[in-house]
Amino acid sequence: MQPSYGSIDRSDDGDGDDPSSSSSSEASSNEPEASIHYSPAPTPPTSLRDSFASKRPRSLTIQRKAELFDEQAAAADMIGELLAAAAESEEAGDPEAKEKARAADDFLRKSLHLGPPAAAAATAGGVGAGVGGGMTPPLEMDAGEADTIRRSMRASRRVSMSPVRRASSSGALYGSWEAGDLKPRSVLCKVVTMLLVAVGGMVGVLALFALGQMVVGPPNQPVGGYTLLELQEGEQFFDYYNFYAGSDSAGSNGYITYVSKERATELGIARVETEPVPEDERPDGAPVVGDDDDDDDDGAATGGLDVAEDVRRELGANKQEEEQQQQNWSDDGNETFVYLSSAPTEEGPRESVRLEGKRRFNRGLFIMDLRHMPAGCGSWPAFWLTDEANWPVNGEIDIVEGVSYQSVAKTALHSTKGCTMDDVPNGVKTGTWDTSVGIPDKKTGIPDMTFRYAQDCYVYDPHQWLNQGCVAVDLEGDSLGQPLNDKGGGVYALEWDPINRHMRTWVFTPHRRVPPNLMDAIRTAGKEGEERIAPDPNEWGLPYGYFPIGDETSCPSGHFRNMRLVINLAFCGSVAGNRYFLDCPKQFKEHKTCNEWIKSNPKELEEAYWKIRGVYVYEREWEKKWV
């Protein structure tokens, strides 16, 4: 289907602020002087100054200057804590503890090649007296360097400071301070804290390990088996959809008017009916509704079963396979179907239905089990996924789409530029690609008869028909339209799996050819717990359509996102209408346009209806285990 066109905003605001410019401006505003000088305290007998005089290079980088100040800041904090401990010991009247603290202070100063204690430095006076006294020779720097170092030192000091000291020092690079400003912290406490943090981290890691093992891949990705998300059957079928009311989109331009649920119910074009299961589809021992006479002359009750047995023997099916090939029929031999059709109007456009799903998808497994689909000249039914408000930006996936008398199933993807099917592996599908031949040249109008496969999903690809997309084609045939209906319908399935980097599509017709696992999944979808069998597409055989998407493919998965299911029935329009003279030559002789044909309300349109057993939507389990 082709909804109204969307657009892509590719604007990119690439302007950004230069961090260096903001840093320079801040430095110039906060530091009026061109440089900062730190005056030395009286020279100690052994200090860092002596070693600097002989070993320091002529020019220090900003990084090295910052490192020196950080080292000194950390040392100053350690000494300050020792002095604070000494002061408290003195207040407590413990001279022995005080002497031990002062001895530790002297030892630290000698080990770090620092100047005399703060008290001695303070008596000497001068700028930098206090903790800074005797720390280093003066370091000259410009305003920008000073601002850079200030930022680094403030961060470093706040990490090492106690809360009291940290709160009082926010406005100064290095101010004088007293021992009482700090709360003493034991080195042992720091070590214990570090050990507790390490142990806590290990416990956290072990807790994650205890959850189990996770497959390789990003966290919170759907990587498990499939679980049922939506069971669309019977009276609950319409609970999963909204009825769109109004004209068709400008892109599709179908000759119909979609109606509300109330109007559709009134017209009988959206209804649920309960019917007996056909006798030739019943397992052995199933009740025959409405006919208890097994000896009826026409042999309907037993003859159908005999025919079915002959078919099964020819196929070599065993008893278990026979049961798996049965539809989800109830104990009384009945099953329910959803009917969707259309009704004529005096004005011409038919009243029809368009169901739009209530849930949005970015992946999933979508299955439709049907017994009849719309067919006939001018009909255009579809079961598809799209985000019509953002088309084609968010893409479109046509799971089932019929046009007039077409009899071969196709799956088409429609996208913006940059999604092609150039890297499909060998041996992964049974179908082929649709072709693009005879497209008129834009300048000359002469048809280009160059043979090409339709492998570009871009809706405006110049070498394909407008909005053709990349189209996979089933090679077996009789899998769509009237031939499908003649065989009692079939099952369609789409696996949209960007994690495993592909989309895959299957069609199985008649129902006896549905794989056992898929039939079991449909048959038990309404059950709970272990009685419900999960579908496994890997057990269904090769798909007819295979589309590589995702990482390391030529079609990023972002081309298809935020889509919802749509089931609709249109007539004529941009596809069936444009092909009318090709697909319906008999009708074309009498009615020159598709719209005229539909307006005549031909009896043929009685075959244009959906008869759906159910739609089943699955999603992969969200793996919650970790490696």
Q: What is the pLDDT of residues 501-514, one digit of tens each?
A: 999 999 999 999 99
What is residue 27's three-state secondary structure? helix
- pLDDT above 90 covers a percentage of the chain that reads 50
- The domains located in the chain, with CATH, are 20-185 (no CATH), 222-277+327-622 (2.60.120.200), 286-325 (no CATH)
Q: Which helix (H) or strand (E) holds 201?
A: helix 187-210
CA 46, CA 424: separation in Å to the nearest integer?
A: 77
Strands 350-352 and 256-258: parallel
Chain centroid to Cα 99, Å, comes to: 68
Tokens of 159: 């990490």
Tokens of 215: 């497959």
| Count of residues making up the chain | 627
End-to-end Cα, the chain, rounded Å: 44
DSSP state of 281: G
Nearest Cα neighbor of 406 from 505, 483, 486 is 483
Q: How far is CA 460 from CA 150, 465, 468, 500, in A?
A: 59, 8, 8, 28
CA 405, CA 483: separation in Å to the nearest integer?
A: 9
pLDDT beneath 50: ranges in the chain: 3-59, 118-141, 149-184, 209-219, 284-309, 311-315, 317-329, 624-627
Residues 6+ apart with CB under 8 A from 426: none
CA 38, CA 349: separation in Å to the nearest integer?
A: 91
Q: Which helix (H) or strand (E) holds 80?
A: helix 62-91
Point out which residues pair with 256 in neighbouring strands: 350
Query: Radius of gyration over alpha carbons of the chain, in Å?
Result: 40
Point out which residues pair with 620 in neighbouring strands: 226
Strands 379-386 and 396-401: antiparallel
Residues of the chain by 3-state class (helix, strand, coil), percent to 5: 35, 20, 45
Residues 6+ apart with CB under 8 A from 620: 222, 223, 224, 225, 226, 227, 363, 497, 499
CA 448, CA 442: separation in Å to the nearest integer?
A: 10
Active site residues: 396, 401
CA 627, CA 518: separation in Å to the nearest integer?
A: 32
CA 436, CA 10: separation in Å to the nearest integer?
A: 30
